[in-house]
């Protein structure tokens, strides 16, 4: 199965697949991002819960899932789905793996076999950690900053990515609080980040997941 098809099966793929050459942000976008950057908390570790709602074009029933996550600078992301079925997706800079509820490895991909994986993982981390400079290199950015928070709309710069992804809308304050992804074919996803907490270091039991 191709990388993009596989990753789209998991919640993190509902964020961004930026496999394209980087470009500098426009001056207006740079000013906007600078204002947002002042709001976003720069923490080594962020943890919290999430709720995800995916709407598939042509189907009335939306798909719901929920769980918890960890974003660790320099380490990666752990995306732990608890409902409706338990699974864990671990995204490291050089690998991506999925485990079932029994802890057994179900899928694994390595950058040495899929060179583009490093770029995919970097962009997934950029969304979850609000790495605005990284995002602005791959997307046209518009938005606003208000006393209660900020909102950004990301539109792919490259027509190739735009064939799959129409736009990504981010909302937040100190942390990213909501991600809305609109696929070009009509499917849509909303991921809400609940009760995010900043920490100075990984807890021992969490660090083991990145080993």
- Specify if 183 maps to a domain: yes
- Specify if 28 maps to a domain: yes
**Residue 106's domain spans which residues?**
7-201
- Specify if 2 maps to a domain: no
Distance between CA atoms of residues 80 and 189, nearest Å: 17
- Specify if 176 maps to a domain: yes
What confidence tens digit (pLDDT) does each residue in 114-145 have? 655 565 556 666 666 666 677 777 788 889 99
- Specify if 211 maps to a domain: no
- Specify if 14 maps to a domain: yes
What confidence tens digit (pLDDT) does each residue in 48-75 have? 999 989 888 888 888 899 999 998 888 8
State how beta strands 95-100 and 149-156 pair.
unpaired
- What CATH number is attached to the domain comprising 189? 2.50.20.10
Q: Domain total for the chain?
A: 1
Q: Nearest-CA neighbor of 91 among 10, 190, 202? A: 10
- Specify if 164 maps to a domain: yes
- Specify if 68 maps to a domain: yes
CA dihedral 168, 170, 176, 181 (to 10 degrees): -30
């Amino acid at each position: 199965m191709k990388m993009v098809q596989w990753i789209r099966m998991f919640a993190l793929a509902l964020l961004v697949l930026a496999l394209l050459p980087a470009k500098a942000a426009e001056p207006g976008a740079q000013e906007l991002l600078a204002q947002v950057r002042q709001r976003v908390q720069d923490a080594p570790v962020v943890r919290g819960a999430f709720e995800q709602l995916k709407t598939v074009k042509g189907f009335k029933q939306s798909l719901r899932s929920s769980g918890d996550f960890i974003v660790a600078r320099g380490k990666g992301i752990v995306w732990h789905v608890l409902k409706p079925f338990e699974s864990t997706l671990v995204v490291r800079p050089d690998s991506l793996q999925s485990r079932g509820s029994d802890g057994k490895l179900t899928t694994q991909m390595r950058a040495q076999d899929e060179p583009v994986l490093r770029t995919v993982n970097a962009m997934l981390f950029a969304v979850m950690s609000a790495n605005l400079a990284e995002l602005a290199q791959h997307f046209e950015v518009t938005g606003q900053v208000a006393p209660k928070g900020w909102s950004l709309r990301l539109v792919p710069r490259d027509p190739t990515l735009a064939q799959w992804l129409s736009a990504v809308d981010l909302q937040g304050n100190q942390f990213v609080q909501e991600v809305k992804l609109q696929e070009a074919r009509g499917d849509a996803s909303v991921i809400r980040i609940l009760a995010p907490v900043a920490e100075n270091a990984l807890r021992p039991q969490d660090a083991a997941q990145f080993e």
